[in-house]
Amino acid sequence: MRKNIAAGNWKMFKDAASANELFEKLIATEIPENVITVIAPPFIYLKEFVQKASSKDRFLIAAQNCHHATEGAYTGEVSAMMLKSINIPYVIIGHSERREQHAESNEMLKMKVLEALNYGLNPIFCCGEPLEIRKREEHISFVTKQITESLGTLNHDQISQIVIAYEPIWAIGTGETASPEQAQEMHEAIRNHISSLFTEEIANNMSILYGGSVKASNANEIFSKPDVDGGLVGGAALDADSFIKIINSFR
């Protein structure tokens, strides 16, 4: 059954004091029973936050990334095994900033997804197109290729653990936002593609999140679209009042 998910990606923001202040405000909030809230803070806060959230229903923690290897001489990296050992349930894989800034290919992301699944983590798999692809109207083929090359060989049990987050790269951190109609078009295309790769049942049960400048002012309209199951929220997740409004935006 599809879940409504409000996921906050804090990226590389917040020192310890401000991170804890924000987190305390969020976990003190009563969230709707039909919504799962996922917070992805910087790595150094993960263990503390997952312990604080352990008594809260539908309030879960995600890592922002993991390595494709279980362990080894990879200075500065964190593995899925390590995340599992501190009870982290979700991990973001393939965020556009990782793809662009760290040259993470579809093949590399396939390896990361498999490693995360091997340790029982639920990947939030990101996909999306840059502005030039959108302008050429090749956005659907571009995104479905990302999905095919990174997720296409999973078995039915594995793909059922995946959450997809669609990121129109041209709308991340720019103040631009895809219209609700543009978001629905791509989410529907992604769901149809998952159906063609796997089954209609798997596609209909998969949560697909929108990840392009979601704000309190537009979340309700975006989340009301039939194939949009929530958001992967960046900047607006760094303010408690704003993110709480987004959590309460599901119809």
Catalytic residue numbers read 95, 167
- Cα–Cα dist 58/232, whole Å: 16
List of long-range contacts for 141-145, beta carbons under 8 Å, 24+ apart? 143/186, 143/189, 143/190, 144/189, 144/190, 144/193, 145/106
Name the nearest CA neighbour of 26 among 8, 48, 14. Answer: 8
**Residues 143 and 183 sit within 8 Å (Cβ to Cβ):** no
Q: Are residues 185 and 134 in contact, defined by beta-carbon separation less than 8 angstroms?
A: no
Beta bridge partners of 166: 127, 210
Instruction: Using alpha carbons only, give the angle 8, 248, 55 rounded to the nearest 5 degrees.
Output: 65
